[in-house]
Structure 1
């Protein structure tokens, strides 16, 4: 056995250890998305129960939007209770920075009384809907709890 082959396993372990250490540093220093101060269960998620993605709804007539939530509870605005929040319906907009208060306007509807459904009317065209949970101060949780964005058509 020559010197080179005798040190090969030790050299391989050193290279593996260095690569593992470099990967760990990368994970620790990777940028983390900002979120609000209120914790949420890691497995919590929101969803839109109705309407369905791709559905066409009649114009000039209000329709129901039903909010779903799993592994978390609904509480009115101002009520600070662990693992709870209230719904916000985002219409035709993208998610915002997750460490800021959710605005209240025609594209960001607040349901601070703890509502789990609403009636809305939209003009003809293609629209997107998405739910975002907010804490007692309308700030997204950490991690943020939101639904998939769905697309609906009003004709």
Structure 2
């Protein structure tokens, strides 16, 4: 094999292996549901805020764990609901970014404490698969608004 063919083969293989997993790859049971256990839309709370994640119809597994009917939690904070806004299509296809508005709990955590400034904040829970990608039928909570005093 000449060096040109080797180079093209290497570049092609590298590009193929760099393609991220796509949505629609990981199924979720039709009855799966994620929700806030201790917070409701319109609640007034103090900071730090403890958030307890509820999940029915699926199990929790750390990111990177390939096991049917499992996922791990993410909180979308102060941004549009999953699939909406400027990054909506990308997050459904390529996964959730990690930043101040996309909080990952890849260790399999089922609760978190958030230090939030005073004011109104929106929260939505999203279950991600082993690669932080929402399931084929995304498992998401309603968006709630809380007020921090």
- What are structure 1's unaligned runs of at least 5 residues? 1-33
Residues 72-127 of structure 1 show CA distances to partners (whole Å, capped at 9, x for unaligned) of 11000100100000000110112133222101011100000000000001111111
- What are structure 2's unaligned runs of at least 5 residues? 1-21, 83-87
Q: Are residues 1:73 and 2:73 paired?
A: no
The worse-fitting range, judged by mean Cα deviation, of 44-53 and 104-113 is: 44-53
Partner of 1:90 in structure 2?
Answer: 76
- Give the conservation status (yes or no) of the 8 Å contact 1:35–1:144: no
How far the C-alpha of 1:37 sits from its partner, in A, is 1.1
Match of 1:139 among 117, 125, 133: 133
Partner of 2:43 in structure 1?
Answer: 55
Partner of 2:29 in structure 1?
Answer: 41
Q: TM-score normalized by structure 1?
A: 0.74
CA distance in 1, matches of 2:104, 2:127: 10
How many pairs are equivalent? Answer: 120
Deviation beyond 6 Å, 4+ runs, structure 1: none
